[in-house]
Amino acid sequence: FLEMLSNPMLIPVQGTLNVVMNQNVTLSCHSDSGAPPVRYTLFKCNRKVSTLNMPDLTPGLFNLTINSASDVGEYKCKAENNISSGGKYSNSLNFTLIEPISKPVLSSPISQAKKGQNVTLFCLSENGSLPISYIFFKGRKSISPPVKMQKREAAVIFLFINSPSDFGTYKCRAENSFCNNTKYSNSFNFTLEEERSHSEPLIISLGLILLLFVIGFALAIPFFIIPSYKASE
C-alpha cells in the first residue's frame, strides 16, 4: 500500500528567522507521513534552490548562507513521492535581516542647569535594526523602564533637578533583537549654573544711566558752553 505524503513543514533548525549578514542557516523540510522515498525541493520566491532525495521519512536539511538582503526572501519546500501528483507544498518562511546597533549618543539641549529646573535627555543609536529598546541610567541605577522605539528616533526622558545629587553622571543603553548586542552611550553630566546676584541687574542699570548721562553731557557742550563763551568775549 503506497500512502500519499502529508504537507511538509518547513522550519529553521536554528529556531529563529532573525539572521545576520554572512550567517549560515539550515532549513528542515519534513513530511511526517507518506510512502518513501521522498524528494524534497526548496524554493525561494518560486525559484528552485536545491533538491534532496531521502530514502525514508527523514527530514531534508537545506544549508544556506545569507550573503545579501536578497537572500531573506520567501522560502517554501515541496515534497514528492512515487504516487504524489504535483507534490505537496509547505508553509512559507521569511528571514529577517538583523543589523547590530551602533553605540548610542546621549545628549541634552543644555549642559548647565540649576536647582528646580526641568531638563531633557535624548538617547539615539544611528544604526541598527528596529525596534531598538533604550534604558536611561544615573550612575549604575536605571531611572526609566525600557523605551522601545519603532522608528529611527531618539528616546526621551524628562528630569527634574531637585538636589546636588541630580548633577551626577547619566548614561543610556540600547539593544535590539541582535543576540548579545547591548551598547552603552557616552557619559553626560549637567553642571551647576551659577545664579546671578540680585544686585547685578541694578548695578548694570545704574551703569547704563551714568553712561547715557556722560554721552548726553558731551553732546551738549558744543550747543551750550561754547556759544556762551563766545558771547562773553
- Average pLDDT, integer, range 21-28: 94
105-192: CATH topology is Immunoglobulin-like (2.60.40)
The three cell numbers locating residue 25: 542557516
98-155 per-position pLDDT tens digit: 889 999 999 999 999 988 999 999 999 999 999 999 999 999 999 999 999 999 999 9
pLDDT tens digits for 60-98?
A: 999 999 998 889 989 999 999 988 678 999 999 999 888
Query: Cell 534552490 belongs to which residue?
Result: 49
pTM: 0.59
* CATH class belonging to 9-97: mainly beta
Q: Which residues pair with 191 in a beta bridge?
A: 112
Please answer whether residues 63 and 93 qualify as being in contact, where contact means their C-beta atoms are separated by less than 8 angstroms: no
Domain positions in the chain: 9-97, 105-192
Please confirm whether the linkage preceding 37 is cis (ω < 30° from 0): yes
